[in-house]
Amino acid sequence: MGQYKLMQMCISDAGKEDIDRAWSDLVKSTTAINGMRSNLMLESSRWQRVNSRLHALHTLSLTLITQACETYLILLNHPDAVKENIRELLMVPAETAQEVHKRLKLVRQVLATNRSDEHLQTVTGWVGRGDALSAGGKKACIPTAVSTR
């Protein structure tokens, strides 16, 4: 939810202080995930699968934060870089993780119907990764080398 709200702030007219606060909170949460991973590994090596998942979540979270902030910086110089239909879809509020997942699935479908060079790469990448993260809690699979990149 925090990742989605950060992206909404980055593509809207949110103030720099609000974006900085949201960014900082997400970085703290992501660092806490990494700390939990380290603590679990100290307890027992049987937590190896959990270690892999938490490492993937940590990396994915940092990537999403970076892409949202890159989008914000790009929009400072090029306000029309994000197409209006994509902006409108991303600005729809979502209250639950399931709503975020549904919203991001819809945005991915819209992005797929247009040429890839028409969309800001940071937004396209963020939507794909955000969708994977929002669906990740329901999947019972082990993160692979491809999914952790």
Residue of 87, 85, 80, 108 whose CA lies nearest to 9: 87
For tokens 């720099």, the residue is: 16
Condensed to tens digits (0 to 9), the pLDDT of residues 52-69 reads 888 888 899 999 999 999
pTM: 0.83
Condensed to tens digits (0 to 9), the pLDDT of residues 103-142 reads 999 999 999 998 777 788 999 999 999 988 887 655 545 5
> Residues, the chain, total?
149
